[in-house]
Amino acid sequence: MKRILIADDVSGWRNFNSGAVREVLGDDIEIKTAECARQAYDILLENEPLYAILTDLQMEEDFMPKYAGEWLIEQIKTFPRYNNTKIILISASYNARNIAEMLGVNCIPKPTALKCLSAYRELLE
């Protein structure tokens, strides 16, 4: 079973991303969700392997001048057990692609996510 973590402060986006992941990967997955970067970090500490992590960029403001999603990705990269985990930044922020590139992760802009399931398929399969 593949385990997926989805972090977004908007429940509608957590639900949307969960549905997209299920559509692409099927039902033999376990999805954990987090409402903020700190909650997602606590899930990382549970020591369970994760197949993929999808995170929003702009969540709580505790990490300024960085975005919360940016901080979370930096934390993920400190755990060797997540070296092969797919990390996808899903954001409506104008600079999301640049931040994703800087962090060495993939990015799906939210407008694309709404229209194009193939973007998920390309990054998750």
Task: Supply the CATH number for residue 77's domain.
Answer: 3.40.50.2300
State the pTM of this model: 0.95
Range of the domain at 43: 2-124
The CA dihedral of 73, 74, 80, 86, to the nearest 10 degrees, is 20
Label residue 42 exposed, middle or buried (CB < 10 Å: 0-12, 13-18, 19+). Answer: exposed
List CB contacts of 115: < 8 A, sequence separation 6 or more: none
Residue 65's CB: how many other CB atoms inside 10 A? 5
Cβ–Cβ under 8 Å, residues 56 and 9: yes
Per-residue pLDDT of the chain (125 residues; tens, 9 = 90+): 999 999 999 999 999 999 999 999 999 999 999 999 999 999 999 988 999 999 999 999 998 999 999 999 999 999 999 999 999 999 999 999 999 999 999 999 999 999 999 999 999 98
Residue 88 pLDDT: 98
Residue 29 pLDDT: 97
Domain count, the chain: 1
